[in-house]
Chain A
Amino acid sequence: MKLVDYLTVDRVVKLEGATKTQALGQLIDVLSGGEPKVSRGELEKAVWHREGLMSTGIGNGLAIPHVRMADLKSSSMTVGVSREGISDYESLDPTPIKIIVLIAAPQGQHEIYLKLLAKVTQVLKHSQRREAIIAAESARQIYEILTGAQDDRG
């Protein structure tokens, strides 16, 4: 599993809003831009339905919202970074969320979906890497930290 296969530089953004709604809305905009068969509204509904079950803030300033939808083209991820942090996200710890990775997979790619979740968690487990991402100046830099991190491991 290589993250390069699921992430492109243009899907790495600096988060503009300070609330969960604004942050997720921005990421949903980015992701739905490349999805011909899924409307923005449907994607938004799916993301918030999942958030309603249990927040995807997993602690250490990291959130991994994730959805599966029947009509998605392929599995992909979108990354948003906020230096200020989003304090209304609800997370396993009180740290405000600074990195959000939105993962979306077609219904039929269950295995890739779970592997992606695990891979992203694994990569962002290291605090230096998270700090480097938050401190990064450009989307390309963030992209390289994220995808290069796993290249080290072969």
Chain B
Amino acid sequence: MIAADSLAIINHTHLPALLVVGLAIFFGTVGANIFQKLRIPQVVGYIFIGIIVGRSGLNLIDEEAIRSLRHFNFFALGVIGFMIGGELHLDLFKKYGRHFFVILLSEGMGAFFFVGGAVFVLVWLLLHDFNTALSLGLLLGAISSATAPAATVDVLWEYKTRGILTTTVFAIVALDDGLALVLYGIASTIAGVLLGQTTGSGYFAIISHTLYELLGAVVLGAGSGFLLSWILHRPYNREKSLTFVIGSLALIIGLTLILKVDLILSTMALGMTLANLIPRRSNIAFQMVESIAPPIYVLFFVVVGAGLHIAGMAAWIWYIAIVYVVARTLGKMIGAYLGARWTGAAQPVRKYLGYCLFSQAGVAVGLAILSGNIFGGDIGNSIVMIITATTFLVQIIGPPCVKYAVKRAGEVGLNVTEEDLMRAYKAGQMVSRETPAFTIRTPLAQILQTIADTDAMVYPVVDPQGRLAGLISILELRQSLADAQLAQWVVAYDLMLPPPDNIEENTPLDKAITTMKQQNLECLPVFAEAEDHRFLGLLELRKVNRQLSQEILRRRQASEA
């Protein structure tokens, strides 16, 4: 009773928009952490939390709140489009352009024909109305061809993927909104005629409108990209550049809303223009936007989940939804496979691209709402409900499938920086275990021999119990080389210096390196975390840097293989 009462109070109070933002980001992050522990991509966590707090759940984020965050969502989509555009380099299109185009057509048309056919058959069997069945089939088929970039690329970014599959996914999800809009333009024209709602002039209006929406977006994005690249070319400081890029993004997103052209396509064209015109300078711009992006993404996906009105939906909607999801999945997978085969694309693309194309969101929901407005009545309403239900289903199963695909293709973790690696490694993993330790009695002659045979700069000296007694550095050793006689009677004990600071094996590598840099140390002794606190070896800055560069090189080569 108490719980119900307090919920009722919440329900009757409109939360301030900023509180909604705070709640969404906070709980979204918490949810994502739980899902990450279950090895499920974080984006599923955001959407799930959204469903719980949204219209289908607690209604903390109600329709009013979602409406108030509408502009924020446009911004988030713009950022996502911009970041995807940054991945699209012209040389990729020169190299793989034909692949991308054929695969795009085949996966899009695959979904269109499978969903269209299945829905047509199902509705015809249920209603025995040919025109309605064909109209619904065409419209849902066209809508089903769209792949939502946001949730897909969020998985790619989360798992730091790199390689031919990743590249192809970026290109396909970037382009297939365009394909979906074209297909929808054609489908809605035919449906209009079938349902007796469009006159002859309607064809032209819809097709020209679609063309305007697509071409207008590209012209706006690319044009702004030229302008922005000219401005960014001048030397500006970092802070000003960030302000400038964010400002420009907001400006362009606002313009797409006024001009009613496709938002994602527009910011994608902007990102692509910058990435290709001024690759080095724009790289900084993309990094800056990326660094502020995470909370924007969290809020965006939570609101997407909150907006899904799936509670209390009729059973037959779910039947069609399930048929739709199965048909779309088959269509995308078979289409992507055939397209990849025809173009002779690489194995990972043939085998796994289909798994990466399930996500559906913005464009599909947008087209569904548009259908609701154009066609009204039962057809319009059922399209909105079916797309809502299927969006829920594919947003939950889509991201894990993307994860599966990139993992099987071996592209996970190949797109990392040294900083990423430093955060991921523990100090204990980087200890130079091959560096021999001297005992305090080891004579200089033997020390010199060992140094000649190994490549360390600093050597540990241990006492008879194996405890670290000190360090011998080659640089300091120079002094003792003046007289050959010293070699006979000077021992490690005379040459060693007391160990500086020390760390435990499970200290994150980045923290260990910060300690070394702050204290100007070339190396740091690492001890076991177990009770005996035994000495494990030395962490050498020089070797760590070498190992990190090698690891990055190895991953780059693996991604290009």
What residues of chain A have their CB less than 8 Å away from a CB belonging to chain B? 50, 53-54, 56, 58-59, 64, 66, 68, 92, 107, 110-111, 114-115, 117-119, 121-122, 125
Contacts and interface: CB of A to CB of B under 8 A. Distances in A.
A120 B493 CA distance: 19
Which of A66, A114, A121 has the most chain B CB atoms inside 10 A of its CB? A114
Which of A54, A56, A68, A107 has the most chain B CB atoms inside 10 A of its CB? A54
Contacts of A56: 489
Given A53-B440, A114-B480, A58 B495 contact: no
B486 A117 contact: yes
Interface string B470-499: 000000100110110110111101110110
A109 to B, nearest CB: 11
6 closest residue pairs by CB, A with B: A114-B479, A118-B482, A58-B489, A118-B483, A114-B480, A121-B483
A121 B480 CA distance: 11
Interface in B433-449: 440-441, 443
B476 A111 contact: yes
A32 to B, nearest CB: 20
A122 B482 contact: yes
Contacts of B495: 114
B480 A66 contact: no
Given A58-B488, A107-B498, A50 B493 contact: yes
Contacts of A110: 476, 479, 497
Contact of B485 (A54, A68, A125): A125
Nearest to B490: A117
A66 B494 contact: yes
Contacts of B489: 54, 56, 58, 64, 92
A68 B495 CA distance: 10
Contacts of A64: 489
8 contacts: A50-B493, A53-B493, A58-B485, A58-B489, A64-B489, A68-B494, A110-B497, A118-B482
B430 to A, nearest CB: 27
Contacts of A68: 494
Given A110-B476, A114-B494, 17 more contacts: A50-B494, A54-B441, A54-B443, A54-B491, A56-B489, A58-B485, A58-B488, A58-B489, A68-B494, A110-B497, A111-B476, A115-B482, A117-B486, A117-B490, A118-B479, A118-B486, A121-B486
Interface string B400-419: 00000000000000000000
Given A53-B441, A92-B489, A111 B483 contact: no
Contacts of A50: 493-494
B458 to A, nearest CB: 14
A110 B493 CA distance: 12
Contacts of B480: 114, 117-118
Interface of B: 440-441, 443, 476, 479-480, 482-483, 485-486, 488-491, 493-495, 497-498
Contacts of A53: 440-441, 491, 493
A92 B445 CA distance: 14
A111 B479 contact: yes
A108 to B, nearest CB: 10
Nearest to A115: B479
A58 B482 CA distance: 16
A119 B485 CA distance: 11
Contacts of B476: 110-111, 114
Contacts of B490: 117
A56 B495 CA distance: 14
Contacts of A115: 479, 482
B488 A92 contact: yes
A149 B486 CA distance: 19
Contacts of A111: 476, 479
A136 B162 CA distance: 80
A31 B389 CA distance: 91
B330 to A, nearest CB: 74
A66 B490 CA distance: 10
Contacts of A59: 488
A66 B485 CA distance: 15
A56 B441 CA distance: 12
Contacts of B443: 54
A91 B425 CA distance: 50
Given A53-B440, A111-B476, A122 B491 contact: no
Which of B443, B485, B486, B498 has the most chain A CB atoms inside 10 A of its CB? B485
Contact of A122 (B440, B483, B493, B497): B483
A114 B489 CA distance: 13
Contacts of B440: 53
A138 B6 CA distance: 102
Contacts of B479: 110-111, 114-115, 118
B228 to A, nearest CB: 57
